[in-house]
Amino acid sequence: MKKNILRVIAFSWAYCLPFLVSAQSTFQVDVNKPASDVQPTMWGIFFEDINFAADGGLYAEMVKNRSFEFDAPLMGWLQPNSDRHSLNENSGMATIMKEEDGLNPHFARIEINNSSGYVLINEGFRGMGVKEGAKYDLSLDVRRLSDGISKINFQFIDENGNGIGGTSISPDSKDWKTYEAKFTASKTTEKAKVRITFEGTGMIELDMISVFPEDTWKGRPKGLRKDLVQLLYDLQPGFLRFPGGCIVEGRTLAKRYQWKKTVGDIEDRKMIVNRWNTEFAHRLTPDYFQSFGLGFFEYFQLAEDLGAAPLPILSCGMACQFNTGELVPMDELDPYVQDALDLIEFANGPTDSKWGKIRADMGHPKPFGLKYIGVGNEQWGPDYFDRLKVFMEAIKGKYPDMIIVSGTGPFPDGEHFEYAEKELKKLNAEIVDEHYYRPPQWFLDHADRYDSYDRNSYKIFAGEYAAQSVAIASPDNKNNWQCAMSEAAYMTGLERNADVVYMTSYAPLFAHVDAWQWTPDLIWFNNLTSYGTPNYYVQKLFSNNRGTQLLPISSGNEPVKGQSGLYASAVLDGNTNEIIVKMVNSTENDQTVNITFNGAGKLDSEAVLTVLKSDELQAVNSIDHPKAISPTDSSQPVKGNKMNISLPAYSLSVIKVKQK
């Protein structure tokens, strides 16, 4: 008798256990009631040349200050054996010369008294990443002023100054001439430099000294860094915003981003200082300039490679309002407007048009199919709307189908934001850019932000957002799981409102681990490798599972937007006939969800479940542990039109089930 009592007690505990450890929720997905289309542009990427994203990053050039155009023209160049101020009898010296005209007028004149004593070294972008066995392309312009110098040697050196592969050229012309050579590295290191030595004595002039890996994205000579583009490609982005960000505006108008100076021959792209060079006293980067080797042609080409719609953002005639706030007077705005019209012609115009011809001459006769153009970045106040109106009239007058993206300023609420909303409605704005750099909790609390947006007004471009673990622009911000998970929760709200939210992008995109100014960032890299942050994997899971139509998902007749700490959204992929459900469990406990797919066709008996999670909210990925937080796949049973899923604590789960 005693035994039986024990068995009854044991049975009832076993029965209750799941309820004690795991709360249960019920979700209904209305497969037969698609709520709206999901735009192909829904999940995109934002590129800005911040944190060495272009020079020193995506643009694979390894020589820093290759054309001696930095403000300190020998920055990045070392002459360990020479006295910089006078010519040493046992060595040599580089002097910076300047052409009378020319966009990049400086070059180096090297005078050598003793060739075994003179060495010129380029330190690269915080070093150069070289790989054993990999090939590198050297090129440079040389003018030989006297016959004495017969050879120039180039060698990678490692951290100890040991040669690790090199080549040489024999200069033979008294006029400027371009020389090219290939060489192979014999060791892998992240911190190589290039050492240049000379044979003979005399005087010689050098310019555009360049070294690229041969193995670039798509093998394009002098192209983009392959691993970094691959990470972008894997996101399958819907659009590519470029070139920023505040870099569009410039700290002064003179230093704004001018696309026309970034196309054509590389030598003719005028180098300027990067606005992030000295923006933050706590992260000074005096060696940050813009060579524009990654200019507007390369940008359109990259967008095409990624299958992403290009979305260029242009200056509206206002310098950054956090800096000088310089304004172009209204009666002097024409050249700025003309820049926008000409960019459209550069992208789409026939090859016999002025700018279409330049595109064709650069190797892309086919139009790039530009459909969107952004006017201004983080502008606020009446000056912006006065200028925006002029751009809108001119662009729509000439290109009625071009979709104009306008801005609401730097903040997602407050006086400037509310003023912008009113003005943009008056102007019948089409797509409007909103930015939010906010704490993780803000993202959880505002997952319903767009539920109440006006359905008869403009569409939304969430153009820059990222959860800040400490505070906006704090150097202590981390790309931790708490931030990534809260963004995922918020993104279910973006997706739920796909009828009004047309475009979204995390910002910024890239950061060099030794040369960043702003954190958090989606992708981090050193000179050899790169990794996606947990935030990257969140973006990837949403973007790779974009779907084509929005499906309502509810719990007790309410959209799932934070009840019991759960967030969810659902889509149908009309191309594959898959139902895709994204769910975030933001709590510290596992939770079970019973999902019913109402009105679904016959479902496969197994679904694919992808989970991204960490038990530790502060956990991050790193160069040494690039995939510490990354998605894992498993299969889950589907019974009829139902399934049970356990959502682990602190997780994003994506379920994909196919309808027959």
What are the angstrom distances between the C-alpha of 538 and each of 235, 262, 303, 319? 10, 33, 21, 34
Q: Which is nearer to ligand AHR, 82 or 377 (CB)?
A: 377
User: Judged by CB, which is closer to ligand AHR: 127, or 376?
Assistant: 376
Strands 549-551 and 566-573 come out as antiparallel
β-strand 163-169 against 135-144: which pairing, if any?
A: unpaired
Q: Please tell me the distance from the alpha carbon of residue 553 to that of residue 247, in angstroms, as a whole number.
A: 40
Q: Cβ–Cβ contacts within 10 Å for residue 184, how many?
A: 17
The whole-angstrom separation of Cα 519 and Cα 201 is 49
Report CA dihedral (155, 288, 317, 340) to the nearest 10 degrees: 30
- Quote the least distance from Cβ 245 to ligand AHR, whole Å: 3
The smaller minimum CB distance to ligand AHR, of residues 412 and 552, is found at 412
By C-beta, is 250 or 440 nearer to ligand AHR? Answer: 250
Contact assessment for residue 183 and residue 154, using Cβ atoms and an 8 Å cutoff: yes
Q: Which of residues 102-131 bind ligand AHR (CB under 6 A)?
A: none
By CB atoms closer than 10 A (0-12, 13-18, 19+), residue 4 is exposed
Figure out which of the listed residues 122, 377, 530, 545 binds ligand AHR, where binding follows CB under 6 A.
377
Q: Which two tokens stand for residue 547?
A: 């779907």
**Structure tokens belonging to residue 567:** 């967030």
48 counts as binding ligand AHR under rule CB under 6 A: yes
Nearest residue relative to ligand AHR (C-beta): 245
What is the size of the binding site for ligand AHR (CB under 6 A)? 12
Q: 512 to each of 90, 110, 144, 320, how far by Cα in Å?
A: 39, 32, 37, 24
Determine contact, residues 641/605, Cβ cutoff 8 Å.
no
Q: How far is it, in rounded angstroms, from Cα 83 to Cα 86? A: 6
In the complex, least distance from residue 51 CB atom to ligand AHR, rounded to whole angstroms:
9
Sheet containing strand 549-551, edge to edge, reads 36-37, 549-551, 566-573, 578-585, 651-658, 606-613, 632-637
Closest approach of Cβ 507 to ligand AHR, in Å? 4
Residue 183 binds ligand AHR (CB under 6 A): no
- Smallest gap from Cβ 49 to ligand AHR, in A, equals 10
Distance separating alpha carbons of residues 51 and 71, to the nearest angstrom: 19
Tell me how far, at minimum, the Cβ of 470 lies from ligand AHR, in Å. 15
The nearer residue to ligand AHR, 342 or 378, going by C-beta atoms, is 378
Rank residues 130 and 247 by Cβ distance to ligand AHR and give the closer one: 247
Minimal distance, residue 398 CB to ligand AHR, in Å: 27
From 90-98, 240-248, 335-343, 439-447, span contacting ligand AHR (CB under 6 A) = 240-248
User: CA-to-CA distance for 514 and 522, rounded, in angstroms?
Assistant: 16
Residues 392-421 that bind ligand AHR (CB under 6 A): 410
Catalytic entry in 378, 423, 464, 578: 378
Among 23, 130, 194, 246, binds ligand AHR (CB under 6 A): 246
Alpha helices (H) in 220-295, listed in sequence order = 226-235
DSSP 631: -
Q: How far is the CB of 177 from ligand AHR (least distance, A)?
A: 41
Q: How many CB atoms lie within 10 A of CB 192?
A: 27
CB of 510 to ligand AHR, least distance (A): 11
Cβ distance to ligand AHR smaller for residue 76 or 374:
374
Beta strands in 43-91 (DSSP E): 45-46, 77-78
Q: Where are the alpha helices (DSSP H) in 148-242?
A: 226-235
| DSSP helix/strand/coil, 45 | strand
CB atoms within 10 A of CB 211: 25
Within 354-439, residue ranges assigned H as helices are: 354-361, 382-398, 415-426
Q: Which stretch binds ligand AHR (CB under 6 A): 73-81, 238-246, 326-334, 386-394?
A: 238-246
Q: Which is nearer to ligand AHR, 275 or 561 (CB)?
A: 275
CB–CB of 508/51 below 8 Å?
yes
Q: CB neighbours (10 Å) of residue 65? A: 23
464 is catalytic: no
- The span from the CA of 448 to the CA of 585, in Å, is 16
Closest separation between CB of residue 50 and ligand AHR, Å? 6
Enter the tokens of residue 102: 């020319």
Q: Which is nearer to ligand AHR, 47 or 118 (CB)?
A: 47
Nearer to ligand AHR, 155 or 274 (CB): 274
By CB under 6 A, the residues from 466 to 525 that bind ligand AHR are 507-508, 518
CB of 243 to ligand AHR, least distance (A): 10
Q: Is 464 in the site for ligand AHR (CB under 6 A)?
A: yes
**DSSP letter, residue 507:** S
- Of 158-166, 179-187, 244-252, 416-424, which segment contacts ligand AHR by CB under 6 A? 244-252
Give me the least distance between CB of 549 and ligand AHR, in Å please. Answer: 32
Q: Distance (Å, rounded) from C-alpha 541 to C-alpha 283?
A: 32
Q: Which stretch binds ligand AHR (CB under 6 A): 59-67, 121-129, 152-160, 242-250?
A: 242-250
- Given 342, 378, 430, 495, the residue binding ligand AHR (CB under 6 A): 378
Residue keyed to tokens 């054509």: 264
Which is closer to ligand AHR, CB of 69 or CB of 464? 464
Catalytic residues: 378
Interface residues toward ligand AHR, by CB under 6 A: 48, 50, 244-246, 377-378, 410, 464, 507-508, 518
